[in-house]
Chain A
Amino acid sequence: MAAMEMECLKGDWGLPSVNLKCLNIMTYSLFVEAPIKFYDDRMLWRNLFAQFPVFRSGEMVLYNSDEKIIRYLKERNFNTDARLTDQQRADILAYSALLEERLLPAVLYLWWMDAKNNVEFSRPWYSKAFHFPFNYFLPGRIHKAAEERLECTVGGNHVLPEELRTKIFKDAEECLDMLSEKLSDKTFFFGDSPSSLDSLVFSYLASLLRVPFPNNDLKDHLKQSENLWLYCSRILQRYYPTSAEEETERKEQEDARRTPGSIDEDPHKVRNIILSVAFAVCALVGYSLLSGLVQLEVMDGSDDMDEGEVD
């Protein structure tokens, strides 16, 4: 069997990836212990529309479809749903459609349509997530795709921006209530072991809970339904124990770094100032020489004598 590898959007805040589909596949692969190698920030020039995830296995490449990837994994016997009844499998399909219709718009809205989140949070984060030169245009493309999606599926000419916001969040809150109802007090949606619905729901819940949006209307609602909140932290603890620990460590380090003040940044500042002054001087001198404002003549003693003779 060919080795499986996948290119993802990078993660943060204790999540291995902030892209819903990537997170879904990553969690699913942990459920079934599938040997997939994950890369972030790699081969972006082959993925100019930022369609994550990109899944490769031998010759086969799957773009942008978590559903297809999971179907492929299931064919390879990495299947969590084999033990389920037909009706439960039908439920999985139905609930994933529900999530796509009701919760996805809210997540996209939080990332890209909310003005404050977009300017203060999403754009800066995304432009740091990719390396040069992709950081200049990939965030814009992702933003545009999200906007188009919302406009075509929920919005349109007849919906005012404010109405769109209330509608999206109302739908999302209803959807969370339904999930909470479906989960009730079980460990996973279908009993004690995870299914493909669990990885999907987890990817949504985790990004709503963990991504620190400045404006997050849904987080409070999600915290109110205790079972969903516990469910999410249970999966995080069970399947991403290291990342959670790393996260706290990283935060501690950051705090530690912040307290001594700006001493850390000073050497860079001095270097930058020197460099910029040097560059400015070079540019000025170069310009004045080339344009003829200042002329330099190189004169030898012998030249002087020659001139004298001519005169």
Chain B
Amino acid sequence: MRKTYSKMLQQSFIDFCLRNLQATGMDEEVELFQPFQKEQITLPEEAQCMAVKTLLHMCNLQFALRLRSNAEFMSPSGGVPFIKVGAQIVSEFDPIVEYLDLKGISLSQELSGAQRSEMKAYMALTINRFYNAEVFLSWYCEAIAEKITKPRYGAPYAWPLNKILPWYKQQEAKKYLKVQGWLEKSQDEVYEELKMACKALSDKLGDQYYFFLDRPSELDALVFGHLYSLLTFQLIDDKMADIVNSFPSLTRFVERIQDTYFAGAAAEENS
């Protein structure tokens, strides 16, 4: 009697362990929420969404793309995109990286401490320069804001909301720039910042395939997301794309990642 009882206990313990093991992988469907790609999304959002999508592709995670016009207001932190796994909702790039790490999925496991430190530093550079420059150009440069960003941002709403919400968002963006001292910069200085960041990244990348160790890391996903958006997003002029294009190693990097991870997606979109 006693023996069977202990055996039962053992069995249930093994079951428990097995279930825990499963929980470390992704057993539930991952859904990614973002604003509408064609009519609505603005440049900084597009870059962030692209980065997260690339990250998920690099982790070999299947995800379902959900387009919602109010994705921004569904997100717990007010930033897009966010992913929903079962009951959990995680928004924006850094928290998503951390969440995947908890689940045992990480791109930077094999990096040494020094390399990981460098990776974090370059990620900070990408966000600090690229993201701020994108916000600056799309919301603070009056010509671009009036012609492109505001109409796009207000696209899903009827009058008067399509005037009020973009205005409100613009105030927020300006505040974001102001606290970081970016409002004192002129447009040319912002282009200069972009150029410096591109130069730093291209110096770091050199002739390698990826930034670290011949395999993709979070940094690759983030940089690709931003560079791809800078290259393809239609603003009134092509100045941003020109800046990126003046660094051939970066354009090659973008093409390579696009071919590797987005070849299927592009074919689907075209069909």
A91-99, A130-138, A249-257, A295-303: which lies at the interface = A91-99
- Please classify how large the interface on chain A is, using the bins under 10, 10 to 19, 20 to 34, 35 or more: 20 to 34
Within 8 A of A (CB), among B192-217: 196-197, 199-201, 203-204, 206
- Asked if A87 is an interface residue, CB under 8 A from chain B, the answer is yes
Instruction: Knowing A93-B196, A178-B117 are in contact, say whether A98-B125 is a contact too (CB < 8 A).
Output: yes
- Asked if A149 is an interface residue, CB under 8 A from chain B, the answer is yes
A selection of 21 A-B contacts at a CB cut-off of 8 Å is: A64-B181, A65-B181, A86-B199, A87-B204, A93-B197, A93-B200, A95-B121, A97-B124, A97-B125, A97-B127, A100-B128, A101-B127, A145-B179, A148-B175, A149-B179, A149-B180, A156-B78, A158-B76, A158-B77, A181-B114, A184-B114
Contact of B201 with A181 in the complex, beta carbons under 8 Å:
no
Residues of B within 8 A of A181 (CB): 113-114, 117
Contact of B121 with A91 in the complex, beta carbons under 8 Å:
yes
In the complex, how many angstroms separate the beta carbon of B243 from the nearest chain A beta carbon?
A: 16
Instruction: Knowing A90-B203, A91-B121, A158-B78 are in contact, say whether A97-B179 is a contact too (CB < 8 A).
Output: no
Contact of A101 with B128 in the complex, beta carbons under 8 Å:
yes
A43-76 vs B, CB cutoff 8 Å, 1 = contact: the mask equals 0000000000000000000011100000000000
Closest 4 CB pairs between A and B? A178-B117, A90-B200, A97-B125, A94-B121
Residues of A within 8 A of B113 (CB): 181
Residues of A within 8 A of B179 (CB): 145, 148-149, 152-153
Q: Complex Cα distance A86/B200, Å?
A: 8
- Asked if A210 is an interface residue, CB under 8 A from chain B, the answer is no
Residues of B within 8 A of A101 (CB): 124, 127-128
Q: Complex Cα distance A100/B77, Å?
A: 21
Residues of B within 8 A of A178 (CB): 116-117, 120-121
Q: Complex Cα distance A152/B206, Å?
A: 35
Instruction: Knowing A64-B184, A86-B203, A97-B124 are in contact, say whether A91-B176 is a contact too (CB < 8 A).
Output: no
Instruction: Knowing A94-B122, A97-B121 are in contact, say whether A157-B176 is a contact too (CB < 8 A).
Output: no
Closest residue on chain B to residue A145 by CB atoms: B179
Residues of A within 8 A of B117 (CB): 177-179, 181-182
Closest residue on chain B to residue A151 by CB atoms: B179
Q: Complex Cα distance A97/B125, Å?
A: 5
In the complex, how many angstroms separate the beta carbon of A186 from the nearest chain B beta carbon?
A: 12
Counting chain B CB atoms within 10 Å of each CB, which of A87, A93, A181, A182 scores highest?
A: A93
Contact of A97 with B128 in the complex, beta carbons under 8 Å:
yes
Contact of A94 with B114 in the complex, beta carbons under 8 Å:
no
Residues of A within 8 A of B15 (CB): none
B contact residues, total (Cβ < 8 Å):
31
Contact of A94 with B78 in the complex, beta carbons under 8 Å:
no
Residue from the list B121, B181, B201 in contact with A98, Cβ < 8 A:
B121
Q: Complex Cα distance A230/B181, Å?
A: 32
In the complex, how many angstroms separate the beta carbon of B170 from the nearest chain A beta carbon?
A: 14
Instruction: Knowing A148-B179, A181-B113 are in contact, say whether A89-B125 is a contact too (CB < 8 A).
Output: no
In the complex, how many angstroms separate the beta carbon of A101 from the nearest chain B beta carbon?
A: 4
Q: Complex Cα distance A102/B196, Å?
A: 21
In the complex, besides A87-B206, A158-B76, 18 extra interface pairs with C-beta distance below 8 angstroms are A63-B184, A87-B203, A90-B200, A90-B203, A91-B118, A93-B200, A94-B124, A97-B124, A97-B127, A101-B124, A152-B176, A152-B179, A152-B180, A153-B179, A153-B180, A157-B78, A181-B113, A182-B118
- Asked if B84 is an interface residue, CB under 8 A from chain A, the answer is no
- Asked if B152 is an interface residue, CB under 8 A from chain A, the answer is no
A77-91 vs B, CB cutoff 8 Å, 1 = contact: the mask equals 000000000110111
Residues of B within 8 A of A86 (CB): 199, 203
Q: Complex Cα distance A93/B201, Å?
A: 10
Residues of A within 8 A of B122 (CB): 94
Residues of B within 8 A of A152 (CB): 175-176, 179-180
Closest residue on chain B to residue A88 by CB atoms: B203
- Asked if B68 is an interface residue, CB under 8 A from chain A, the answer is no
Closest residue on chain A to residue B200 by CB atoms: A90
Q: Complex Cα distance A93/B196, Å?
A: 9
Residues of B within 8 A of A145 (CB): 179
Residues of B within 8 A of A65 (CB): 181, 184
Contact of A94 with B125 in the complex, beta carbons under 8 Å:
yes
Residues of A within 8 A of B204 (CB): 87, 90-91, 94
- Asked if B57 is an interface residue, CB under 8 A from chain A, the answer is no
Q: Complex Cα distance A162/B76, Å?
A: 17
In the complex, how many angstroms separate the beta carbon of A47 from the nearest chain B beta carbon?
A: 14
- Asked if B129 is an interface residue, CB under 8 A from chain A, the answer is yes
In the complex, how many angstroms separate the beta carbon of B194 from the nearest chain A beta carbon?
A: 12
Within 8 A of A (CB), among B155-188: 175-176, 178-181, 184
